[in-house]
Amino acid sequence: MKFSNKRFNIAIVYYLILIILIIISGIYTTIHTQNSARDNEIDSAKVRVQSLSYIIRNDHVDSIPLIEKDAATSSTYSRLKIDLANIKNYEFAIRKIYTLKKVDDKIFFVADSERNPLKDYNVLGQEYGETKIIKNVFDNGEIITEGPIKDESGTWFRAIAPIMDSEGNYTSAVGIDIDQQINNNITDNAILFIWLIVFSLLLVVFLLYKYEMNEVEMVNLKSDFLALASHEIRSPLTKIRWGLSVIINNLEIQNSIKEQLVKIQETTIRLISLTNSIIETTAADKNIIINNNICGSDLKIILDNSIKNVKDKTQDKFITFNISKSFELGVCVQGESDKLELAFTNILSNAYKYSPDNSKIDINLIDYGKKIDVSVKDYGIGIPKDEVKNIFNGFYRAKNAQESNIQGSGFGLYMTKKIIEFCNGVLKCTSELNRGTTVTVTLLKVKA
């Protein structure tokens, strides 16, 4: 599948925009999902630890001795441990519940939800290390939360709430560690977005393929229709032309009538040449789009053949073709030689057609290394300034060309432009009325 340059570039731009949008929406969704999942977990941890702080009594925690052997005899200690273990059993995803108490500005672990007596996740009487974090709990009565924290046992959140005593002071606290409940792993999202990108790529390629196919079908239809219509018109026109020449050659006809008939015959010939051009152009149009293989063609051979084509086709107007000396064999350009020959034949035959007798046509070459410019300069009728932009549009003939006796269909340059663009080249024209025209073709060079 080959896309025309312009369309392909537009497709690439659309595709890039699409990818960027998908990536942005992906990043946004990931961040948003992660943030809201985190907020949910934190909120849930807060609510749960807060409700525990209402259940657990401050004086119970406070009264538990911080020395294990003393705690062993404390019924409050064993009662609290059983209560915490039971709560943990019913509270989904809680890893552990622990209690803390403050003694002389230091925070210590007290009983926790480990069911076995005298066994705690954090040893009874062990000092709580992260005093900075916990400070707000005891000093300001705040519930603190932390997470997500990742370790070998998974991802989890921590929440600690103060437990108020009867005088409104916070001397003990309860903490919970909760496993992350919503799996918002970033890699899951990343995989989803990669799939989205791959899917969008396939979609874009598919749409482009369809679009290209439709265009080929459209060109075929248009070309077939035009070719058929022109063909049908050409046959009766040819009959009229022959009929007219038989009548004109009849010696018995009055001269005045003969003159009129000659004019009609000229118009008929013009119409025949127009239908011929349409048939040729539509066939070439179809051919260019469907069979444009990029290969190397020798520029010198193309130009020599094109000049020969022009000379063979036209009556001699004693016009000389001056080809710049630097034109040598071995300069290869991108594009099929027969199509490039058709393009240069069109440009050169225009230069020839619109030039006065005994004038010259200069063919110059500027080699830029990777590109090459071939300019065809004539000293003919030129093109009005405001009409130059229209001459590649197809069916367009400048006013001065129409007013002259020079025949044309307005198809040649349209087709030429198509050919050059399909060879990844550029076609330009500059002109000065009554002074001449320069048509420049830029082609890409390829290694011979």
Closer CB to ligand ADP, 151 or 386, in the complex: 386
Residue 285 beta carbon to ligand ADP: minimum distance, rounded to whole angstroms? 13
Closer CB to ligand ADP, 176 or 423, in the complex: 423
Distance of CA 429 to the CA centre of its chain: 32
Sole window of 30-38, 100-108, 311-319, 412-420 interacting with ligand ADP (rule: CB under 6 A): 412-420
Residue 384 beta carbon to ligand ADP: minimum distance, rounded to whole angstroms? 9
Dihedral, 419, 421, 423, 425 alpha carbons, nearest 10:
120
Q: Are 155 and 149 in contact (CB under 8 A)?
A: yes
How far, in Å, CA of 438 to CA of 248, rounded? 41
Quick one: which of 41, 212, 336, 378 contacts ligand ADP (CB under 6 A)? Answer: 378
Contact between 227 and ligand ADP by CB under 6 A: the answer reads no
String of contacts with ligand ADP for each residue 308-347, x by CB under 6 A? --------------------------------------x-
Enumerate residues 6+ apart whose C-beta is below 8 A from 435.
379, 382
Q: Are 155 and 179 in contact (CB under 8 A)?
A: yes
Interacting residues with ligand ADP between 415 and 444 (CB under 6 A): 437
Helix (H, G, I), strand (E, B) or coil at 314: coil
Helix (H, G, I), strand (E, B) or coil at 101: strand
Closer CB to ligand ADP, 169 or 402, in the complex: 402
Contact between 383 and ligand ADP by CB under 6 A: the answer reads yes
Which residue is at the shortest CB distance from ligand ADP? 408
What's the burial of 77, exposed, middle or buried (CB within 10 Å: 0-12/13-18/19+)? buried
Contact between 223 and ligand ADP by CB under 6 A: the answer reads no
Contact between 363 and ligand ADP by CB under 6 A: the answer reads no
Closer CB to ligand ADP, 136 or 309, in the complex: 309
In this structure, the strands spanning 360-367 and 371-378 are antiparallel
Helix (H, G, I), strand (E, B) or coil at 292: coil
Q: Are 180 and 148 in contact (CB under 8 A)?
A: yes
Contact between 114 and ligand ADP by CB under 6 A: the answer reads no
- Binding residues for ligand ADP, rule: CB under 6 A, are 346, 350-351, 354, 378, 380-383, 391, 396-398, 401, 408-414, 437
